[in-house]
Structure 1
Amino acid sequence: MPDKKLILIAEEDKMQATLLAFRLRRNGYRVEQVSHGEAALNFLKQYIPDMIICGIEMPGLHTFDLLKFARKRYNREVPIVVLTTSSENRLHSKLFEAGATECMTKPVDPSSFLDMVELELGQYKF
């Protein structure tokens, strides 16, 4: 069981965010859920999450700006996963260059999602 790691979900699709948050909470994680870029930025100014999961089309703040802020503040210590409807390699490459540690294409498979979270947080059981 995870040691109550804090995960920020900043996702514009509230249904997707709610499902992911439910899955994470059920597996022992603490989750802060926001749907607007400014709310994500305000949270990141006050707290240090163990992981950030964000959508690519958040209103109020471009995802690339959020990546830039998080990387400047936390360097590479906090994994950042970007959820996108595009499986385009060029977009994923740009996201990785901007600081994303992982990209997942929506709709997100719940089991794969949880495996990825545990792997990124070093809690995956082989």
Structure 2
Amino acid sequence: MSKEIKIVIAEDNSVLNLLLKLSLKKEGYTLFFATDGKEAKTLIEKHDPNVILTDIMMDYFSGLEIISYVRNELKRNTPILVFSSSGQEETVLKAFSLGANDFMSKPLIPNELVFRVKKMLL
């Protein structure tokens, strides 16, 4: 019997959420969706996920603030993958300096995302 793998996904784009849901559910992961940073913080606290996937640009708290919150306030080493349509070098470097484990540019390639999630779970 395998252990439940929980993933919190913080993304405000409903089409992308559906795509992520289809791709990750196939792998048997339990998914929790947040459409803004405030909801993301609540889900992370409540479910203590194995992986966090977060967009950079969100309402209330950005993906960068989510990374900082997980690393500095919750003191968790949960793998975090951030994604952004901006892909600006400064933002990507800031995400890594705050403790992100991986970065993907939008539009996301679902099979690549699943591969990267699996790699972070090793």
- Does TM-score exceed 0.5, indicating one fold? yes
In structure 1, list runs of 5 or more residues that go unmatched: none
Runs of 4+ that moved beyond 4 A: none
CA contact (8 A) 1:3 1:29 kept: no
1: CA distance, partners of 2:98 / 2:106: 20
2: CA distance, partners of 1:4 / 1:108: 25
Q: Report the Cα offset of residue 18 of structure 1.
A: 1.7
Q: Report the Cα offset of residue 62 of structure 1.
A: 2.0
Over the aligned positions, Cα root-mean-square deviation in angstroms equals: 1.6
Aligned residues: 121
2: CA distance, partners of 1:93 / 1:120: 19
CA contact (8 A) 1:9 1:21 kept: no
Match of 1:49, SS?
coil
- Give the alignment's TM-score, normalised by structure 2: 0.91
How many percent identity over aligned positions?
A: 25
Match of 2:23, SS?
helix
- Give the alignment's TM-score, normalised by structure 1: 0.88
Q: Report the Cα offset of residue 88 of structure 1.
A: 2.7
Counterpart of 2:101 in structure 1 is 101
In structure 2, list runs of 5 or more residues that go unmatched: none
